[in-house]
Chains A and B, each alone.
Chain A
Amino acid sequence: MFDDFFMRALIAGIGVALVAGPLGCFIVWRRLAYFGDTLSHAALLGVALAFLFEVNITAAVFAVSACVSIALLLLQRGATLSADALLGLLAHASLALGMVVLAFLTWVRFDLMGLLFGDILAVSKSDLATIWLGGAVVLGILAAIWRPLFAATVNSELAEAEGMNPARANIIFMLLMAAVIAIAMKIVGVLLITAMLIIPAATARRFAAGPEQMAVLAALIGAASVVAGLFGSLEWDTPSGPSIVVASLGFFLLSLVPTGRRLTRGRDRPATEPRHGAKG
């Protein structure tokens, strides 16, 4: 029943989801959703440059995203603009630059829809290797910087006072983000990468009791979204990238269903407090 390309799509999608979940938690905790968007817009410029210089697309996207991250850090230090204005500037400037460069490349045939929304069904064996090897490296580095990065997320000054190096952890985190954008672009496309990062993490937040648990849950929910989305797209002949995002939205909506929460709350509530009982 599984065509080979479908198996490859599943394995690739799950690989991306396992990496995007934990990183997405930091995006949610640090309120960096717009930063994810900015990097993914910059990815389009990376694609254009890859065509122009005939280099590996993933490497070019990573390089451009990394440059945009560093540019953001430098601009934040010097400029008097707010972070969201800077992000908007970088996002749309790099998107527009990417489109202009692509327009010059009249001899290149490229699939703009594939870039914007992903082309998971066209994943090759070498793409699989990139996703799983790259993903393993990203997760390994994330695990290594987990404590300083999380401490800096809670309070940067506290982390620094107690001997950690939040600035270094932040830079490494931004490079990891650039790497994930580069390897996830093929799966869900430029426009939907942020959804892969944020929605599973937001869903996991409802059930997680601790940060590590939330990261693992986000990875698993993301993987489940990939499986559900791909089977849905096979069944109803819908575009695969958007279907994955719709599936993860479905899981998020399910997590909002109040029954489970009300049950837990009732259990936590001491029986001797009728005041609260009357309220709920």
Chain B
Amino acid sequence: MLKRPDPLVTLDGAGICRDGRWLVRGVSCTVDPGEIVTLIGPNGSGKSTTAKMALGILKPDEGSAKRRDGLRIAYVPQSLAIDWTLPLAVDRFLRLTGPIGKAEAADALAATGVRHLARAEVRTLSGGEFQRVLLARAIARKPDLLVLDEPVQGVDFTGEIALYELIKSIRDRLNCGVLLISHDLHVVMAATDRVICLNGHVCCSGTPTAVASSAEYKALFGARAASTLAVYEHSHDHTHLPDGRVQHADGTITNHCHPGDGHHPGPDALHNKGDGDVR
């Protein structure tokens, strides 16, 4: 096996506790250069919290979050409200956190299909346009690590596929690591190297399967879409009860769920390394 490069970000048993409640706990994962990692999970499962730990916005209350020294990060937050009192054009917004050359800015805007909006006021943009501008800003930074929190929100379906392809091409061009939070529990990018399913903790992680080769899927979204999107099928070895407790496959009920609490099969069985495997 080839020696793996140093990971860009390493979370080790990281958790965030607010007012005595664990928002997310025991998250261990890494993002390597050139790797696309997708976080999925229901609302309130700690996806954004985990991303914020990786970014260094939140300091973990237990465990650790390490970033490689001198890591250049670009972040596309889930929502960003621009106050209407701010006179802010798109080309100035691109230079928000660091200088960016004119050519880079134009290229990035062209890549996300919003070059014509370079001089537009940010607050006049539609949701989808603004999402593309946010992505353009992230690309123009030429990051080592790109963190995207639900980047396809407010973008229509064809636009969504195009954006996923764009993210893949950015990864290919910059060889940056990508940490992507998916807005959809079941549909993730085909280019994803690893999917991490969160629900207050890491429920499971592994490679996505090649999708939906079914005729209905192709009929619905077209053959091109089928090769771009993938369904990551996974079965959980435990169920989250409405009161927050966890029922395990062996029938026991506990207050929390930890990988090492004896209710789970070994990590080798949990983590699927083979490409295209379905669990």
Q: Of A29, A157, A162, A214, which is within 8 A of B52 by CB?
A: A157
B57 touches A157 (CB 8 A): yes
Q: At the interface with chain B, which of A64-72, A202-210, A223-231, A272-280?
A: A202-210
Interface membership of B201, Cβ < 8 A = no
B88 touches A210 (CB 8 A): yes
A29 touches B73 (CB 8 A): no
A161 to B179, CA, bound (A): 13
A205 to B84, CA, bound (A): 10
B86 touches A29 (CB 8 A): yes
A211 touches B55 (CB 8 A): no
Q: Of A161, A162, A163, A209, which is within 8 A of B87 by CB?
A: A209
Query: For B97, what are the chain A residues with a Cβ–Cβ distance below 8 Å?
Result: 147, 151, 158-159, 162-164
Whole-angstrom distance between the Cβ of A117 and the nearest chain B Cβ: 28
Query: For B141, what are the chain A residues with a Cβ–Cβ distance below 8 Å?
Result: 162
A211 touches B73 (CB 8 A): no
Query: For B92, what are the chain A residues with a Cβ–Cβ distance below 8 Å?
Result: 210-211
A164 to B74, CA, bound (A): 12
Main secondary structure of the interface of B (DSSP, over half): loop
Q: Of B74, B80, B88, which is within 8 A of A162 by CB?
A: B74
Residue of A nearest to B79 (CB): A155
Interface membership of A96, Cβ < 8 A = no
B86 touches A153 (CB 8 A): yes
A31 to B86, CA, bound (A): 11
Query: For A162, what are the chain B residues with a Cβ–Cβ distance below 8 Å?
Result: 73-75, 97-98, 141
Q: Taking A154-B82, A157-B57, A157-B77 as contacts, is the C-beta distance between A209 and B96 under 8 angstroms? A: no
Q: Which of B50-80 contact A (CB under 8 A)?
A: 52, 55-57, 72-75, 77, 80
A210 touches B87 (CB 8 A): yes
Interface membership of B85, Cβ < 8 A = yes
Interface membership of A28, Cβ < 8 A = yes
Interface membership of B89, Cβ < 8 A = yes
B96 touches A208 (CB 8 A): no
Interface size range on A against B: 20 to 34
Whole-angstrom distance between the Cβ of A151 and the nearest chain B Cβ: 5
Contact with B along A140-153 (1 / 0, CB 8 A): 00000001001101
B96 touches A161 (CB 8 A): no
Other than the given A161-B77, A162-B73, 5 more pairs (CB < 8 A) read A151-B97, A158-B97, A161-B57, A162-B74, A211-B92
- Residues of A in contact with B (beta carbons under 8 Å apart): 28-29, 31, 147, 150-151, 153-155, 157-164, 205, 208-211, 213-214
A-B contact pairs, 27 of them (CB 8 A): A29-B85, A31-B85, A151-B96, A151-B97, A154-B82, A154-B88, A154-B93, A154-B96, A157-B57, A157-B75, A158-B77, A159-B96, A160-B57, A161-B52, A161-B57, A161-B147, A162-B73, A162-B97, A162-B98, A162-B141, A205-B85, A205-B87, A209-B87, A210-B88, A210-B89, A210-B92, A211-B92
